[in-house]
Amino acid sequence: MPEVHASGGARIRYDDVGQGETSLLLIPGWCSRRDIFRALVPRCARHHRVLCVDLRGHGDSEQGEGDFDSGTVLDDLLAVLNTSGAQRAVPVSVSTSGFWALDLFRELGVHRVPHLVFLDWLVTEPPPAYSAILRGLMSERWGRARDELLENWANGVANEDILRTLRVDMREVSEEMWARAAREITASYTRHGTPLRALARLRRAPTALHLYAQPDTQDYLEEQVAFSAGHPWFHVMKLPAVSHLPSLEVPDLVAAGIDALVSGQRTHMRTGPPPGAAPQG
């Protein structure tokens, strides 16, 4: 398995499969491992080179000495791209790892990061309940807050892979990491505002695609469609899924969306629910 020797003595490990001029950099969210992409990697590797990374202190990657923050993780991701020799890369991020995708674009520019793919990111103002969970994760009641978050994500989900990820894998993550995640997610929203506001401030913006399933409300989709009207480089697709992990639940649709974006066939992408999706509202 390829690895990068990073700051603090950490070794960052990743998968490197497939071939192609443009590499996909698959970035998990906090407190999850790279295997949330296990169904997506072989599908994407048919047409692209795929770099699928474990974040520092997660999965097969080491934490190194001392505390670390979002800036450290960004440095790790840059090191993976540079060590791998990837000249052009498309970050494919899950949830709040989208902030790292934006930072990669800011660091490398549109020539090296021509596109961004976001999976199930809360791109509008976080609701009070979400902010309360983040505060809870940084308190003595962190376990209760974690369980509330994960059971909310498990609601209505029948896919065994997803349930195992939520109820087994993510529950094995330490209190320290959950608190760090909450601290860094809160700091990212404070620093950047909502993801849509952060996207609006980009200069010479890349083509961006948001593939999501939740929240399953009409106003959430409409706000993104309205944003797309003013920022035509932004595309959104509501997926016919029920979970926050579309890379496990509907990997064929996610791979198809990525392929359409990278190949430039955006005219064939739908904004809004794809065929067969349940009506919204």
Q: Which of 191, 170, 153 is nearest to 69 (CA)?
A: 191
Is residue 244 part of the annotated active site? The answer reads yes
DSSP 8-state assignment for residue 166: I
Catalytic residue from among 47, 48, 244, 268: 244
The C-alpha angle with vertex 250 and arms to 86 and 260, in degrees rounded to 5, equals 50
CB 169 within 8 Å of CB 33:
yes
Show the CA angle centred on residue 186, arms to residues 62 and 197, nearest 5°.
Answer: 115
* Angle, helices 70-84/98-108, rounded to nearest 10 degrees: 60
Dihedral angle of Cα 32, 72, 257, 227, to the nearest 10 degrees: 110
8 Å CB contact between 222 and 257: no
Q: Find out whether the peptide bond into 215 is cis, omega within 30 degrees of 0.
A: yes
- Burial class (CB within 10 angstroms; exposed 0-12, middle 13-18, buried 19+) of 258: buried
For 132, half-sphere exposure in the C-beta direction (CA atoms, 13 angstrom radius) is 5
Residues involved in catalysis: 244
